[in-house]
Structure 1
């Protein structure tokens, strides 16, 4: 299989898709392949917004996400699924160019995925802000009256969400999660998620970044619960510069902000395939991802 057949790139060199001769499936950003005993996760340079995968990518984004996840897996004192970031010999033996995959892959343990996103919010923004404006609570957790957009919460809160195959995840209460997977496991995941968020938020704050919120995915291996998927990246978290933080309005962030803002200014209706991102938006978005990696690690 040739490099051209195995890997799809956009004109700027962003890796959009992989076609390895292995059983696999694709998500919004990652291509996941079955290696038998383990899984191979390939982080591409795809970028999504408003529930659409955009036609062009952000060069090197997948490598940045992998490096950041690898940093956090090493830093956090919690069991996780990462085994190696080296291209396995099993893949090289298929005649695939390892240089394309190097720096953007994770070989991980297989796990039974918990069917809920474990979201921790330290600040109020996004869907949580919208929900609070409607009923003064998030996921059934009542909050003090008079909070402003992006205010720091009195303490971080656990607000689970369903894992949607397409479209938006849906915020649910802990009781809903407990009815599906049991009260004991829900409480364990709440405690673990808060523990991981607190450790990460303390580190990030010492480097000048506020982690406003983040979502964790957990898996079960035997009797063990382990942290899986990506962790604490700009794709799964809101990172705000601490120096310019000011509640009462939206904050600048180290993520897809340039992408969302540009798309919002176009005539795109969000019901048809999205337009191609201009070079300037691609460049500035890539710079923000790289800046977050450099600051945090």
Structure 2
């Protein structure tokens, strides 16, 4: 699994007045010590209901009010190309269905690697705070490269596929725009990881989070990032994060910036 963090953001125009808020355009930057260069990520998300008409911390409005969403995001550098499509659907006030597909391409010299992933998550709400479900992942890894032999140049291709499923859980306790949001979910790839998040919302605008990524068969092979996000207005926020490897907190290995605007 590639060790990178993709941050997607929402973009609206400050200084303009809007009658409703359905759209989110994302722009963000991540710089990781293990890579030669940082990269920008861009994304767009559509909310099927007006966020201005519902309550809750800005970042949690769609989850707390069960608002359906659709999203496209990605980034591109000289070597890497990534695109992701996803959608979240709520129905009957107690079920959630998430669908997603992504492709990551890595080019190194004459070699090229394409990773495709398709995901289905189905969950159920137990009361207003607990959400439990199963996550299903299908992975397809395709490697293409050139070899030199006595017969000259040869093209080689290998394809590996994998199917996995694992449970996920989320606990959200918010009262008067203040409280906790915890989640634990699987992340599929060449190595299986679990992603954990603990967020505390001071009020509707300001929150602090700890995000961890841990390999399922080796807890020591993981990372943690501390983040804070503040909404300067109902449509504009800024997030900043710093991270390190678990067990080696003396050295930073990631830094990220996130700009969120809604319109």
Fold equivalence (TM over 0.5): no
| Richer in helix (by share) | 1
Higher-strand-fraction structure? 2
Whose relative contact order is higher, 1 or 2, with alpha carbons under 8 Å and at least 6 apart? 1
Q: TM-score, normalised by structure 2?
A: 0.29
